[in-house]
Structure 1
């Protein structure tokens, strides 16, 4: 499980750096202006799951799941606010399945 760095989008733009997704998942710092950019160059679609560890008024919140199409698929996922996705340590968990040829970047606007 790797800790993914947050890259900040500025008015002049960025060229994001992508990391191969980890087999057992990765962590990132969620926030109101944080997005995941997932690219899938593999031959099968991949499911991205962002865990929601808490509850709202005693009710469990379903994990966020997004399907990224095969081959040239990519998805911007978010925003991912801390109040929904952060564990007690402030980090969030993301898992992709399958992981073959899947890369990810964490981007924060502003």
Structure 2
């Protein structure tokens, strides 16, 4: 599992650096104005899952799951209230497959 670092978007813009998605999943910081960007450069759809470790009462909150079509891109708001793992303090991200999948975390100003 790789730990992704946030890249700050400045007023003049940012061309984020993307990393290959890790086969065992990735971890990302959580907080206000943080976005996870996932690009699928493969010819087949991929599914991205963000674990939601919280509960409401005694009911588990469903994980955030997004299918990304071939050559598609998805973005996730990395809200601490939804995705902060109580042990690591980060979001846990997994992928159905990682072939041609790249990821970046950006922090908006």
TM-score (norm 1): 0.92
Matches within 5 A, 1:26-41: 26-41=26-41
What residue ranges of structure 1 are gaps of 5+ in the alignment?
Answer: none
Structure 1: distance between partners of 2:79 and 2:73:
21
Specify the alignment match of 2:16 in structure 1.
16
Shift of 1:35: 0.9
Contact 2:34 2:108 in 1 (8 A): yes
Specify the alignment match of 1:80 in structure 2.
78
Specify the alignment match of 1:92 in structure 2.
91
TM-score (norm 2): 0.93
Aligned CA RMSD, in angstroms, stands at: 1.1
What residue ranges of structure 2 are gaps of 5+ in the alignment?
Answer: none
Contact 2:78 2:91 in 1 (8 A): no
- Which runs of structure 1 show a deviation greater than 6 angstroms over 4 or more consecutive aligned residues? none
Shift of 1:59: 2.2
Shift of 1:57: 3.0
